[in-house]
Structure 1
Amino acid sequence: MKKQRIVVAMLSCLLVIAAGCNKPAPTNASAPAAAKAVPGATVDGARIIAADSEPGSWLSTGRTYSEQRFSPLKKITAENVSKLGLAWTYKLDVDRATEGTPIIVDGTMYVTGAYSIVSALDPVTGKELWKFDPQVPRDKDRDGCCDVANRGVAVWKGKVYVGAYDGRLIALDAATGAKVWDVDTVLDHNRSYTITGAPRIIKGKVIIGNGGAELGVRGYVSAYDAVDGKMIWRFFTVPGDPAKPAEDAAMKLALPTWKGKEWWSNGGGGTAWDSMAYDPDLDLLYVGTGNGSMWNRAVRSPGGGDNLFLSSIMAVRPDTGEYVWHYQTTPGDTWDYTATQHIILADLKFGDKVRKVLMQAPKNGFFYVIDRTTGELISAEKYGPANWASHVDMKTGRPVENPAADWAKKPALVSPGPLGAHNWQPMSFNPETGLVYIPMQEAIALYVPDQKQKFTGKGNWHMGSAPIALPENDAKALQGVMDMQKGHLIAWDPVAKKEVWRQSYVTVWNGGTLSTAGNLVFQGTADGRFVAYDAKNGKKLWETPANTGVMAGPVTFEINGEQYVTVEAGWGGAFPLALGGLSEPAKVKSEARVLTYKIGGTLKLAPPKNEPKIQPKQPTVTADAATINKGRDLYNGHCGMCHGPNTLAGSVIPDLRYLTQEKHDIFAGIVAGAYRAKGMPGFSDTLKPEDVEAVHQYIIKRANDLQADLSAKAK
């Protein structure tokens, strides 16, 4: 194996997250922890459409079908937000990616955590009413991109619906948490399909997409009957085997845009793993689609082509899944520029004309305003640094690419990298200020091609790129890479096409936003704070410690005349896992909790977690330099996606430089799968015994490097 390149640039984005380890699995069974009857979530389409008539509830993941994440509540205002305090907390089971949006309806709050565990809570006290664990296999994390996250539930006519990480769609009784039905949404169990997104329910149909493009799957969106779980339709986002008949007119349209003979065997990608919105007047469902499988378009589709419908916004009929229109934000995407980021619907006035628009700030760094009736592009301006394209040609609607950003045959340093200028963390739109509040970030990446990569089976990453590691034993170089990660909250005017104000943070991967009629914007931060800003000018008005990184989107609700603000706090996902030590400026551990605030709240959080302690004596390295180099390459290719490149771990998955002697003694067994129930996948299918020993020797070397560094600093 060739010696892996060491690169000083924002490089390990290319690792992003394929396998993982974790703490012991929670012990609660799939049956609810309690069966106490609670009010039953009597939500239907009419109630969601009329959501503004009951602003005290939060009925769907974006509050309304338009997904604006704006609340008309205004008892908490810019004038009194300084009196906001913690009312209650609820500890989630697993301290990993915490990305859910709570639903609050009929006196109950529904939240989700890692491994798709659902809890029903009293929204005033935080008391648990029931809990449901779908018993996702704890080593299933190897089959997903960016940790075992779940972004929330949907409620409809007395049921709660959750997409389980292993691909099941499950309906629960809203009153007791008892399972009513579950269906398997996975097209092919020989591929690594997952679900991380929240379902949407439209006209009695539960709409859900899947993830897995990095690991070689074909994307699609499915609709299931909310009553019995029967599949009603499935819309594929990329074509399948060209030797077989195309499933529908959309796939006939897409097929000529793919070239070569291998793309379909690599899966194709285009997964619809998060964003959706619905316009009931137009009766159109809007879905964002993701990156290609493989990333590298020269490997994926030799001969070029736009590769429809990768990185696109699709409009379909919710009754049938019929294609209506699309807009492709990144034709022939080769940088992992998904268009699965939050979609917002609004009516905006341009001059004397009000237009029904759709807005999105996808990974590629351009903010799009699109006519949601026709798919016509209205504007596309950069909201963050982006060197891959100079601009979008308004005549053609296509980006004008920078040839230097094409990494098909040689490495290229590109902005933004795979983390994107905006990722899954939801933005919000305040119709009173006319501004969109975007968790923007600057994250450059070096892409290095691997032209020989082919699909090698379930659980393996397929990007057409070479794995890259961070500098070893070079604190100055590592700091330089960290300094390239810049996070911001920006207020964007979609009519004037410009930034109005910004707040900057210590690093990337800050949380989603909530805006309110109280002239407030709420956002959690990567460095463990929950903050409120003046929505008009961006002035910071209030902040409180969260003791962990906050990524999820906040919500607000009102009960008995009192307004509350809730956020799921917890660190994880692509940045602190795959980028390992680059998340060090955040200086937080993962502690997954629901935090709820009200005016006059007085509760205090317990102190944050302590740092792990290095063992006083490390095993001795017995391997030669060649074996250590081999171990480094194998580690970065198989382990670094979760435990951090070059063992520079983040704060979620265990740092292997801190292994106890007991763990060293059973290292081979752990890698073989002895800890599957604790979240550590087995790798006996891909690593030979001599490979495992090389990895172990490399980890021992890195532990000794750390011990020497700490000893030198102590003198």
Structure 2
Amino acid sequence: MRRPLSFSAWRRLSGLGTTLALCAGTSVAVAQPTAPSSDWPLHGLTTSEQRFSTLDQINTQTVSRLGLAWYQNLDALRGQEGTPLVIGGIMYATTSWSRVEALKADTGEVLWQYDPRVPGNAAVRGCCDTANRGAAYSDGRIFIGTYDGRLQALDAKTGHLLWSVNTIPENATLGGIRSYTITGAPRIAKGIVIIGNGGSEFGARGFVSGFDEKTGALKWRFYTVPAPGNKPDNAASDKVLHEKVYKTWSPNGGWVQSGGGGTVWDSIVYDPETDLVYLGVGNGSPWSYSIRSNGIGDNLFLGSIVAIRPETGEYVWHFQETPMDQWDFTASQPMMILDLTIHGQKRHLLAQAPKNGFFYLLDAATGEFISATPYTFLNWADGVDPKTGRPNIVPDALWSLTGKTWMGIPGSLGGHNWAPMAYSPKTGYIYIPAQQMPQPFHSGKNFKLNKMGVNLGIDMTGLPDDQKVVDAVNSGLKGWLEAWDPVAGKVAFTVPHATPWNGGVLATAGNLIFQGLATGGFEAYDASNGKRLYHFDAHSGIIAPPITYSVNGRQYVAVEVGWGGIFPLMGGAMARYHNAGINHSRLLVFALDGEQRLPLETRTGQIPIPTTQTFNPKQAQQGYTYYQNFCMACHGDNAIAGGVLPDLRSSGALSSRGGFQAVVSRGVLENFGMVGFSKVLTPQEIEDIRQFLIRQSSLQKRY
């Protein structure tokens, strides 16, 4: 058995040719393209998506004067992940449930609000909260992807709906089993609005679509995994799927029913220099490689970056970061375009720090592998092939093939997740919101595709009431801001945080790095050394990335507040272990000498009161299995909520069998996102879940 790669080992390896790390002595960074104005017009500020602003009124010398200029309370106490846009002094912000609003960027005066009226029952279709990461703007139009799969164009002046299309093909749902949602921001290239979707955890086949920005007409569609039997789709992807992709899958694996996965749920980047659109492709469906593909093939394009043409969707090149994915190691994490001089040669590069723990540099035009160096501790591979970049997977990490439990680092939430990183040409560093969340992987038994609930092909009851295991996982939870030198291929410095699952990053010419924290702080650091220069108590956790802009010569920094996403939901006990605060969703905007104050409010989250009800131990144990498969994704592992949704251990519905059946079976709270499960759970099975929740309520003092 090969030993896991230790932190000290990967730091030593970062200078060796085995990982093709780049020698600092022979390489320098080059100046990068920056935004031409004081606005924030694109999701990543510029097409390079480096999130570096040239504004410097707020800098290392003045940041101590930073204060709250204005704020706005948001109407959904869910996770807020949006990157607002600012065009001509008007801010366009997207919030949970795909809502959009336009505000005066200097005062916060609301100009218009738009609600696409996503039905509450759509919440059950997604794995990771009803968040939205942002809009796109072009020629007086705002474009938004809605949680239930629509792409819409709004008049930027009025908020009136101009057109709306359903991005999900009629034949994509396979008898109602597959679920699709949109949480990512659209991108626009050459008059084409490009959008992907999520759903791999529920059973989905990934694809990306391009629509005409003026009419909403579908221009092309690109599927990221093949169709059963290698059948053509009359899509831009037909040729590459037929010639290259299908043969990397077992023809009769479980993917034939589950869709295979590969959803492009977040990162899409357009580079005008190469005239290519880069797609960050997600994980397999189900997670289990053994079930999904009978342990056969690399399963393209899972865990890959795929380059296509913006006007036609034509395939150009791909690079697979994680072959045979069985750890949820998506390549959906934010990408950026960099110009670096390496060994005396200027290179135009694509950079990414995906979930799997390696930092990648690829040639942006050709996809040529340049380097892959660990940016965090990892134990699933012991390096990569120096020529191809293919990982050297540790045999014991292939849990779906060995049948043994594997404690994976990174776990499925990755060494870096969706929260955007940033690059500063002043320092030459990329700033990564890094984290460590160990996770046990174990094969599920008798897997079948459920019409509701997650379809991962893993044992969802892997951590029953073993507090020692829970404590071991909790002790490995870490979060930090990492300054990564992409030329030297090593860490320059880190800023330790109290928890994982922190916010995205902004870099500015004021030599500052801004980041919000899961524990509720909004902070500014010296970009050269990580010294904390500013702290603001936001009263609630932050996962969204900050932006900066200027109106009438005054610089502002804005961030959406509201802790959520998959970690507080599915993480349950682990999330609450580090963050027990209550959610207050807001938009905060800062400027020098700002004098606004947030209202005084309760900072303590839900504290369940142990029930006095009795329970049937046998039913409770059976109910645990049903709960983990159908309820855990929203209400937390072992029914320990992480602060976003109600803690079921305190639910009033537990006191009545009839009341619980009304909620869980008939869906009387459907408008609030709690749908009925009568199609997949019998009344007795639902009663078993109630017995399990009563048991958990009686044990809550353990946590």
What is the TM-score normalised by the length of structure 1?
0.89
Aligned match for 1:635, one of 627, 649, 654? 627
Answer yes or no: is the 8 Å Cα contact 1:266–1:454 preserved in 2: no
Residue 76, structure 1, aligned to residue 58, structure 2: yes
Which residue does 2:36 correspond to in 1? Answer: 53
Which residue does 2:593 correspond to in 1? Answer: 600
Residue 415, structure 1, aligned to residue 409, structure 2: yes
Aligned match for 1:683, one of 677, 682, 702? 677
Q: CA RMSD in A?
A: 1.8
Task: Mark the CA change 1:209 to 1:119 in structure 2 (over 3 Å): closer, same or farther.
Answer: same
Task: Mark the CA change 1:199 to 1:645 in structure 2 (over 3 Å): closer, same or farther.
Answer: same
Aligned match for 2:698, one of 700, 704, 707? 704
Residue 481, structure 1, aligned to residue 473, structure 2: yes
Residue 249, structure 1, aligned to residue 235, structure 2: no
Secondary structure of 2:257's aligned partner: coil
Which residue does 2:459 correspond to in 1? Answer: 466
Aligned match for 2:584, one of 583, 587, 591? 591
Aligned match for 2:103, one of 121, 135, 138? 121
Task: Mark the CA change 1:627 to 1:320 in structure 2 (over 3 Å): closer, same or farther.
Answer: same
Which residue does 1:579 correspond to in 2? Answer: 571
Give distance in 1, aligned partners of 2:608 and 2:265. Answer: 41
Residue identity opposite 2:151 in structure 1: L
Worse overlay, 476-485 or 422-431? 476-485
Secondary structure of 1:666's aligned partner: helix
Which residue does 2:250 correspond to in 1? Answer: 259
Answer yes or no: is the 8 Å Cα contact 1:528–1:586 preserved in 2: no
Answer yes or no: is the 8 Å Cα contact 2:69–2:591 preserved in 1: yes
Secondary structure of 2:628's aligned partner: helix
Residue 453, structure 1, aligned to residue 444, structure 2: no
Secondary structure of 1:304's aligned partner: coil
Answer yes or no: is the 8 Å Cα contact 2:557–2:589 preserved in 1: yes
Answer yes or no: is the 8 Å Cα contact 1:239–1:264 preserved in 2: no
Aligned match for 2:195, one of 198, 202, 208? 208
Task: Mark the CA change 1:702 to 1:63 in structure 2 (over 3 Å): closer, same or farther.
Answer: same
Which residue does 2:510 correspond to in 1? Answer: 518
Secondary structure of 1:213's aligned partner: coil
Which residue does 1:342 correspond to in 2? Answer: 334
In structure 1, stretches of 5+ residues that fail to align are: 1-48, 711-715
Residues 311-322 of structure 1 mapped to structure 2, 5 A cutoff: 311-322=303-314
Answer yes or no: is the 8 Å Cα contact 2:573–2:638 preserved in 1: no
In structure 2, stretches of 5+ residues that fail to align are: 1-31
Task: Mark the CA change 1:610 to 1:511 in structure 2 (over 3 Å): closer, same or farther.
Answer: closer
Which residue does 2:131 correspond to in 1? Answer: 149
Secondary structure of 1:172's aligned partner: strand
Q: Deviations over 1:618-651 (max 9, x none)?
A: 3522x43211111222222222221112221111
Residue identity opposite 1:375 in structure 2: G
Give distance in 2, aligned partners of 1:562 and 1:77. Answer: 13
Worse overlay, 409-418 or 463-472? 463-472
Q: Deviations over 1:461-489 (max 9, x none)?
A: 21111103546484x66444322110010
Q: CA deviation at 1:609?
A: 3.7
Q: CA deviation at 1:197?
A: 0.3
Worse overlay, 524-533 or 604-613? 604-613
Secondary structure of 1:94's aligned partner: coil
Which residue does 1:36 correspond to in 2? Answer: none
Give distance in 2, aligned partners of 1:569 and 1:612. Answer: 16
Give distance in 2, aligned partners of 1:617 and 1:387. Answer: 39
Which residue does 1:294 correspond to in 2? Answer: 286
Q: CA deviation at 1:614?
A: 6.2
Answer yes or no: is the 8 Å Cα contact 1:578–1:643 preserved in 2: yes
Task: Mark the CA change 1:616 to 1:626 in structure 2 (over 3 Å): closer, same or farther.
Answer: closer
Residue identity opposite 1:225 in structure 2: D
Worse overlay, 117-126 or 339-348? 117-126
Residue identity opposite 1:502 in structure 2: T
Secondary structure of 2:120's aligned partner: coil
Residue 304, structure 1, aligned to residue 296, structure 2: yes
Residue 230, structure 1, aligned to residue 212, structure 2: no
Residues 615-654 of structure 1 mapped to structure 2, 5 A cutoff: 618=611, 620-621=613-614, 623-654=615-646
Q: Deviations over 1:205-262 (max 9, x none)?
A: 1000011011111111110000010000111111112252365221121111111313
Answer yes or no: is the 8 Å Cα contact 2:609–2:650 preserved in 1: no
Q: CA deviation at 1:612?
A: 6.0
Secondary structure of 2:266's aligned partner: coil
Of structures 1 and 2, the one scoring higher in RCO (CA 8 A, sep 6+) is: 1
Answer yes or no: is the 8 Å Cα contact 1:511–1:526 preserved in 2: yes
Which residue does 1:357 correspond to in 2? Answer: 349
Task: Mark the CA change 1:617 to 1:333 in structure 2 (over 3 Å): closer, same or farther.
Answer: closer
Give distance in 1, aligned partners of 2:229 and 2:466. Answer: 50
Residue identity opposite 1:688 in structure 2: T
Answer yes or no: is the 8 Å Cα contact 2:348–2:364 preserved in 1: yes
Residue identity opposite 1:57 in structure 2: D
Answer yes or no: is the 8 Å Cα contact 1:506–1:586 preserved in 2: no
Q: CA deviation at 1:368?
A: 0.2
Which residue does 1:43 correspond to in 2? Answer: none
Q: CA deviation at 1:698?
A: 1.8
Q: Deviations over 1:107-160 (max 9, x none)?
A: 210111111011111111112111111111112111111111110000111111
Q: Deviations over 1:39-77 (max 9, x none)?
A: xxxxxxxxxx996321x1000100111100110111100
Aligned match for 2:426, one of 416, 432, 452? 432
Q: CA deviation at 1:452?
A: 3.2
Q: What is the number of equivalent residue pairs in this alignment?
A: 657
Answer yes or no: is the 8 Å Cα contact 1:615–1:660 preserved in 2: no
Residue identity opposite 1:389 in structure 2: A
Answer yes or no: is the 8 Å Cα contact 1:612–1:658 preserved in 2: no
Residues 170-209 of structure 1 mapped to structure 2, 5 A cutoff: 170-187=152-169, 188-189=172-173, 190=176, 191-209=178-196
Give distance in 2, aligned partners of 1:655 and 1:586. Answer: 14
Task: Mark the CA change 1:116 to 1:250 in structure 2 (over 3 Å): closer, same or farther.
Answer: same
Q: Deviations over 1:529-581 (max 9, x none)?
A: 10100111111111111111110111000000000000111111111111112
